[in-house]
Amino acid sequence: MRDDLRKNFASDNVTPACPAVMQAIADANNGNVPSYGHDDLSLTLNQRFGEVFEAEVTVFPVTTGTAANSLALSAMVPPYGSVLCDQSAHINNEEGGAPEFFTQGAKLVGIPSPEGRMDPASLPPTLQQNRSKGVLTPPFTALSLTQATEWGTTYACETIAELSEIAHEHGLTVHMDGARLGNAIAHLECSPADTTWKAGVDVLSFGGTKAGAMAAEAIVFFLNDRTRPMVEAMTRRIKRGGHLWSKQRFMTAQLLALLENDLWLENCRHANAMCQRLRHGLYRHPAVNLPFATESNEIFAVLPEAQVEQLRSEGYQFYTYPTPQGVPGRLVRFVTSFYTRPEDADALLESLIS
Amino acid sequence: MRDDLRKNFASDNVTPACPAVMQAIADANNGNVPSYGHDDLSLTLNQRFGEVFEAEVTVFPVTTGTAANSLALSAMVPPYGSVLCDQSAHINNEEGGAPEFFTQGAKLVGIPSPEGRMDPASLPPTLQQNRSKGVLTPPFTALSLTQATEWGTTYACETIAELSEIAHEHGLTVHMDGARLGNAIAHLECSPADTTWKAGVDVLSFGGTKAGAMAAEAIVFFLNDRTRPMVEAMTRRIKRGGHLWSKQRFMTAQLLALLENDLWLENCRHANAMCQRLRHGLYRHPAVNLPFATESNEIFAVLPEAQVEQLRSEGYQFYTYPTPQGVPGRLVRFVTSFYTRPEDADALLESLIS
Amino acid sequence: MRDDLRKNFASDNVTPACPAVMQAIADANNGNVPSYGHDDLSLTLNQRFGEVFEAEVTVFPVTTGTAANSLALSAMVPPYGSVLCDQSAHINNEEGGAPEFFTQGAKLVGIPSPEGRMDPASLPPTLQQNRSKGVLTPPFTALSLTQATEWGTTYACETIAELSEIAHEHGLTVHMDGARLGNAIAHLECSPADTTWKAGVDVLSFGGTKAGAMAAEAIVFFLNDRTRPMVEAMTRRIKRGGHLWSKQRFMTAQLLALLENDLWLENCRHANAMCQRLRHGLYRHPAVNLPFATESNEIFAVLPEAQVEQLRSEGYQFYTYPTPQGVPGRLVRFVTSFYTRPEDADALLESLIS
Amino acid sequence: MRDDLRKNFASDNVTPACPAVMQAIADANNGNVPSYGHDDLSLTLNQRFGEVFEAEVTVFPVTTGTAANSLALSAMVPPYGSVLCDQSAHINNEEGGAPEFFTQGAKLVGIPSPEGRMDPASLPPTLQQNRSKGVLTPPFTALSLTQATEWGTTYACETIAELSEIAHEHGLTVHMDGARLGNAIAHLECSPADTTWKAGVDVLSFGGTKAGAMAAEAIVFFLNDRTRPMVEAMTRRIKRGGHLWSKQRFMTAQLLALLENDLWLENCRHANAMCQRLRHGLYRHPAVNLPFATESNEIFAVLPEAQVEQLRSEGYQFYTYPTPQGVPGRLVRFVTSFYTRPEDADALLESLIS
């Protein structure tokens, strides 16, 4: 193991797979089995997710968050429709146009918000204006929330419930981008059900890769009158997107391993703890400004330029962001993971202080 | 291992991954590394494929053959264009409309042929008629060949060269669906270069999954004046399709393991040998008719209905096809793989005879 | 008027608009009125078409047959679906990929037939094979018939009923490309209802342009449980396709003028009569072969090459087609219209004989 | 003529066609001519537009502004690309998702501005951030300006030149939505060339319908190294969109009539004058607030609610808009046209004052 591999705080997607996932993949490599998800392992997936989420669900595994989000939206929004989301949403900014591709041209409309969390009060006027324009504007048919958000914050379950209620009243269904759902749940200390379907979420992109999988996400439909019609054609959509593995057991095995004994939540709790460790250190640093609450495994900090250069020169990796006008220094993001050790966080802090 | 796992001749995609691939995946699971293909392993991919194909290439790994074919075609054909292929082509029949999705509505036009091999003589009239219709018909801009074909036959390298020459003369680029390329090469005893770019192929879908990978294919651009402009936006197309893995090293590792010491060809040679073993047994069976040459790892046979039922009742798995009118019996397909043992083939034959 | 304008038999779309249509356009040019089809004239369209077709209908005017067909299909077929049609269908060959564009990548599958008329017996095996392939193949969800056909023949109403019944039994809805519907009705001497919804047609592309309009077609939904859900989003689809005119009264006026006193049928009867006049002359010509029945306003004839050249040299315009192998001469098409005079047909025949 | 037809200030698209256009349509209704734009009239279109714009151009007529804008953008932006525009742009808000449809999923990104005019200073940071995100974000490949803007203002030619220069430096091509180009030119008292290609515009949507046509717009490519490659496939794109008329002479005739003796500019000058007449009246009204400059044929005014109701009760038609928070009253828009008479404007003002 090269030492610099521990200095990569760019994302939780730079990590390896966790040992239990690797073991599950190895265990699944056993003989000829029916392809395209008809193997015995894959046939247990709906039930297993149902237990974890305490709900009747239909689950479709895919390998990237971009595919999970985009395929989910393609079942929720017609090509002539629109998705309402926070302006910072991953679907709106970092998925290379995949939501537009899979929905076949639906429009994403981002609402500005200070911390990546939509304000329920901002929805009704936006929805009403959209309705008033008739055929001139693509109608909103889905609301997409990100939990945890792109700025490292989380939605309270009550806020999600409030947003969902407004959405449903206006005929929209509710999607949750849960690429870091485990981190949000670990922070909120709620159940998986509480922050999803019990708060009105209809369709979830369940994130596995950042929580320790090699490449495994799941599109989870919480079955109700709104979602049932969406499920039927999903396998066709997935096949058409080139996302139906012939040897699908290898995707399934990863997801089952993460669910076993709540490993995904354990991994996320560890990642969050490492992020709080960073926060405590950064907080004490006089020249560092922390613009957002740290409620998952991402921390944003405004650092003096010199400090940023220092870290880079030592081999640290992280992303920088446009710094709000007038604020001196540079906005950076550090992301921790199941793989971050306390000593890795401490070493980063030490480099900053020195 | 349950015994019936050895009775699955439905496809070469029901197989596990071969040991070397599993080892490579485990070896790649090592520390934090840059995501999205910027890891050290992935950066060697172009060179490694270049060595195997004795050419300058740019390679894009994906996890399914459907994605490889469809993404390749999306770079070769504008949305208002057309692809010429054999009527039996996988892209035309078994990819759930993925080529139409990724090309954004291009048209696939299938030429009928007796054994899945396009006849060079059939191209010029088809191309000329297409040209003569002007804007009324989507123009052909790509020719897609399947090597080995869907009926278990292979193209001679000279035939590919002939087809490519006609295509190039008419302004089409040439795509090869190589889901079973290794099987074709093993049969033809040619080099990978001979049956691809040396025969005029511009873009190859290199099949890894059926040759022993967990889920790994590669889109290979043989760099020339026609293909260079296609390469630039490929990573965007792949991201937009949700096919860019963050932990891409795990895709890369599989492909590198297959290329190491020509493992893919060795696996395919074994699969072909098992298929010939089946052929020899079937050939001697008086009630069995073998309509096609067996030049890869697929054998098609017309069996008496009773025999088909017998095999099914013993737990054998295989696909059946519409039998040509007037022919008594039923057309079935058996597919062998790197994982088929001689005793598995012999057991199938024994069941047939008894 | 230049003399050669009367020598154009290339299509019925080379014609001017008929006087009644021109007058209706002029009459509609009257003051400010609500745009996008909310004008008084446009609001009568459903009722007027309903009277003509003796049915409850919802009608959407557009300006081209390509738009009418493609928009209709986009409401009938999901992007991951398939359309079954005759191999000769205009949607399959002469609409520049528009059906694929508007359906967002659905697949058109053409069944071969001798005279452009699908044989009901050919449907069940095709539909069953499609179903048996599951997610690997885009499912058929619509059947598209052309009345009159591309080869100048017409379907008997009973045959349409038979085809529709099979389609409905298999879960497909039925589309009719009626670019030359009036010519078919004039030939069959049936009512507009008989050959459309009474024979099971769900959605009709009503052709106005070839029957005397400047540019006016109509998508006609015969309201039933299958079509009602399609209607809701049609105006959005039309707007999204750039086909919603602000000054839509000018489209409406043309259609209303054609329906007034059955002008469209009168125009088509005249066109058919002119075509029969041609047929009688051609039939007597010893070197001319007439491969198809002439049941509308198109006649196909195999002419000696010399004769073809002669006509061309005199300024005649018409299309030629690939001649069936082994047949000497050249397959040409002559199309008549409301604008063809008896003396125009006679002049053509005279040129041929001389 | 019903009196209330003169009370419609909702848009300049509620108008009839102007007499010269109607005459041109009637004149074009003359005999059989080649279809799909091969008629003699259509063949003069490039030259005629070239004279008006003092440039080498290739012109494609279509019938709606939505089609013109969307088809133009489809030639300028790949499906995986992005269009930069003002947040108020028609393409971004009122075209029912047509730009996304025709570009096959490209993303529109709107920059906020106070009066519908992009500030050149806002471009570089937006473009740089876009570039820095690599494959994660669809790259900007086109800038789209609206002249006159959606808020009734116009760009100075120098500002357009500045914006175009930045766009070109960053590899974007420049599109102008000129649905009301004539009104902008009439206001600026510049030449058509000045505010288009001489200011760096590559592709223009030339608006004819609002300037007096029945339904006629034109996509104008100013030929240069950037636009030449776009032109080749345009007819295919138009056909594929169902926008290629068989009797295209009727589209052409309208455009030629508008260009004859600068009729389009004369019509727009009249519309602007009527709008200024409204402005003078509204300006003197103590309770009326005029938030924007009036530089074309649209005037926006904040009226007391009672006044709005009064106008509505008298049969006046106009659009209302969300009023900025804290501003009392209601934001309304009045649009004048070639068809508005001085007495119509005066009657509206009188109703307001009484």
Please, are residues C17 and C212 in contact by the beta-carbon 8 Å criterion?
A: yes
* Pick from B105, B135, B236: CB nearest D239: B135
Contacts of C among chains (3+ CB pairs under 8 A): A, B, D
Per the structure block, which two tokens stand in for B13?
């995609």
Residues from chain C that touch A235, judged by Cβ atoms under 8 A, are: 135
pLDDT of residue C3: 58
CB contact under 8 A, C136 and B101: no
d(CA A30, CA D338): 78
CA D141 to chain centre: 21
d(CA C160, CA C145): 8
d(CA C253, CA C208): 11
For B94, which residue in chain C has the nearest alpha carbon?
Answer: C136
d(CA B209, CA B65): 8
C348: burial class by Cβ within 10 Å (0-12, 13-18, 19+)?
A: buried
Pairing of strands D57-62, D107-111: unpaired
d(CA D219, CA D228): 14
Per the structure block, which two tokens stand in for A287?
């020249």
Number of CB atoms found within 10 A of residue D303's CB: 23
d(CA B32, CA B51): 28
B33: left (phi over 0), alpha (psi -120 to 50) or beta: beta
- At the second CATH level, the architecture of C3-13+263-353 is Alpha-Beta Complex (3.90)
Per the structure block, which two tokens stand in for D346?
């005066």
Q: How far is CA A183 from CA B132, D150, D329, in A?
A: 61, 44, 47
Which helix (H) or strand (E) is B241 found in, with range?
none
For chain D, the 3-state helix, strand and coil shares in percent, each to the nearest 5, are: 45, 15, 40
For D18, which residue in chain C has the nearest alpha carbon?
Answer: C29
Residue D143 pLDDT > 80:
yes
Torsion of the alpha carbons at B270, B271, B275 and B278, rounded to the nearest 10 = 70
d(CA C90, CA C204): 14
What is the DSSP track for C68-96?
HHHHHHHHHS-TT-EEEEETT-HHHHSST
d(CA D144, CA D164): 10
pLDDT of residue B327: 77
Residue A1 pLDDT > 50:
no
- Residue D235 dihedral angles phi and psi, to the nearest 5°: -60, -35
d(CA B352, CA D184): 83
**Token pair 């006049």 is at which residue?**
C277
**Token pair 């909120």 is at which residue?**
A188
Spatial neighbors of D225 by CB under 8 A, at least 6 apart, are none
Cβ-based interface (< 8 Å): residues of D facing A: 79-82, 93-97, 100-101, 103-108, 125, 129, 133, 135-138, 322
Residue A354 pLDDT > 90:
no
Per the structure block, which two tokens stand in for A190?
């709620």
Number of CB atoms found within 10 A of residue A55's CB: 18
Interface test with D, best of A100, A129, A136, A141 (most D CBs within 10 A): A100
- ipTM greater than cut 0.85: yes
Per the structure block, which two tokens stand in for A321?
């962001």
Residue B75 pLDDT > 50:
yes
Residue A129 pLDDT > 80:
yes
- Residue C58 dihedral angles phi and psi, to the nearest 5°: -120, 130
Per the structure block, which two tokens stand in for A110?
């981002």
The mean pLDDT of B18-43, rounded to a whole number, is 96
Q: What are the residue boundaries of the structural domains of chain C, listed by start? A: 3-13+263-353, 19-262
CB contact under 8 A, A136 and D93: yes
- At the second CATH level, the architecture of D19-261 is 3-Layer(aba) Sandwich (3.40)
Residues from chain B that touch D135, judged by Cβ atoms under 8 A, are: 36, 235-236, 239, 244
Mean of pLDDT over chain D: 96
Residue C57 β-bridge partners: C222
| DSSP assignment letter at C10 | S
The mean pLDDT of A209-218, rounded to a whole number, is 98
pLDDT of residue A327: 77
pLDDT of residue B3: 58
Torsion of the alpha carbons at C71, C77, C79 and C81, rounded to the nearest 10 = -150
* Pick from C80, C104, C137: CB nearest B105: C104
CB contact under 8 A, D105 and B105: no
Residues from chain D that touch A79, judged by Cβ atoms under 8 A, are: 97, 101
Residue D104 pLDDT > 60:
yes
Per the structure block, which two tokens stand in for B254?
């599989």
pLDDT tens digits, residue range C181-227? Answer: 999 999 999 999 999 999 999 999 999 999 999 999 999 999 999 99
Cβ-based interface (< 8 Å): residues of C facing A: 36, 78-80, 104-105, 135-136, 138-139, 233, 235-237, 239-240, 244
Residue A150 pLDDT > 60:
yes
Pairing of strands C107-111, C82-86: parallel
Residue A70 pLDDT > 60:
yes
Interface test with C, best of A80, A140, A235, A237 (most C CBs within 10 A): A80
Per the structure block, which two tokens stand in for C169?
């039994």
CB contact under 8 A, C97 and B129: no
Residue B114 β-bridge partners: none
Mean of pLDDT over chain B: 96
* Pick from C104, C135, C236: CB nearest A104: C104
Interface test with C, best of B85, B100, B104, B333 (most C CBs within 10 A): B100
d(CA C321, CA B186): 44
Pairing of strands B217-222, B330-335: unpaired
d(CA B172, CA B83): 9
SS3 B269: helix
For C79, which residue in chain A has the nearest alpha carbon?
Answer: A104
Residue type, A323: T
Residue type, B159: T
Contacts of D among chains (3+ CB pairs under 8 A): A, B, C
For C322, which residue in chain B has the nearest alpha carbon?
Answer: B129
pLDDT tens digits, residue range B203-212? Answer: 999 999 999 9
d(CA B349, CA C1): 81
Residues from chain D that touch C247, judged by Cβ atoms under 8 A, are: 13, 15-17, 209, 214-215
Residue type, D99: P
CB contact under 8 A, C97 and B138: yes
How far apart are the CA of D245 and the nearest CA of chain B, in angstroms? 12
d(CA D65, CA D73): 12
Per-residue pLDDT of chain C (354 residues; tens, 9 = 90+): 455 679 999 999 999 999 999 999 999 999 999 999 999 999 999 999 999 999 999 999 999 999 999 999 999 999 999 999 999 999 999 999 999 999 999 999 999 999 999 999 999 999 999 999 999 999 999 999 999 999 999 999 999 999 999 999 999 999 999 999 999 999 999 999 999 999 999 999 999 999 999 999 999 999 999 999 999 999 999 999 999 999 999 999 999 999 999 999 999 999 999 999 999 999 999 889 999 999 999 999 999 999 999 999 999 999 999 887 777 899 999 999 999 999 999 999 999 877
SS3 A143: strand
Per the structure block, which two tokens stand in for A100?
């537009």
The mean pLDDT of D218-231, rounded to a whole number, is 98
pTM here is 0.97
d(CA D193, CA D200): 10
Find out whether the peptide bond into A148 is cis, omega within 30 degrees of 0: yes
Per the structure block, which two tokens stand in for B37?
């293909």
What is the DSSP track for D133-161?
TGGGSPPEEEEEEESS-TTS----HHHHH
d(CA A78, CA A81): 5
Instruction: Report which of A127, A152, A176, A150 is spatially closest to residue A299, judged by C-alpha positions.
Output: A152
d(CA C137, CA A321): 45
Instruction: Specify the CATH class of B19-262 in words.
Output: alpha beta
Please, are residues B81 and C101 in contact by the beta-carbon 8 Å criterion?
A: no
Please, are residues C63 and C217 in contact by the beta-carbon 8 Å criterion?
A: yes
The pLDDT > 90 percentage for chain A reads: 94
Per the structure block, which two tokens stand in for B178?
């190589």
For A250, which residue in chain B has the nearest alpha carbon?
Answer: B214
- Residue B226 dihedral angles phi and psi, to the nearest 5°: -75, -35
What is the DSSP track for B59-121?
EEEES-HHHHHHHHHHHHS-TT-EEEEETT-HHHHSSTTHHHHHHTSPEEEEEP-SSS---GG
**Token pair 């009324």 is at which residue?**
B136
For D232, which residue in chain B has the nearest alpha carbon?
Answer: B135
pLDDT of residue D3: 58
| Cα four-point dihedral sign C271, C274, C279, C280 | positive
pLDDT tens digits, residue range D171-197? Answer: 999 999 999 999 999 999 999 999 999
Instruction: Report which of A53, A278, A74, A77 is spatially closest to residue A172, judged by C-alpha positions.
Output: A77
For D67, which residue in chain C has the nearest alpha carbon?
Answer: C242
d(CA C73, CA C204): 10
pLDDT of residue D323: 82
Instruction: Report which of C155, C98, C139 is spatially closest to residue C295, judged by C-alpha positions.
Output: C155
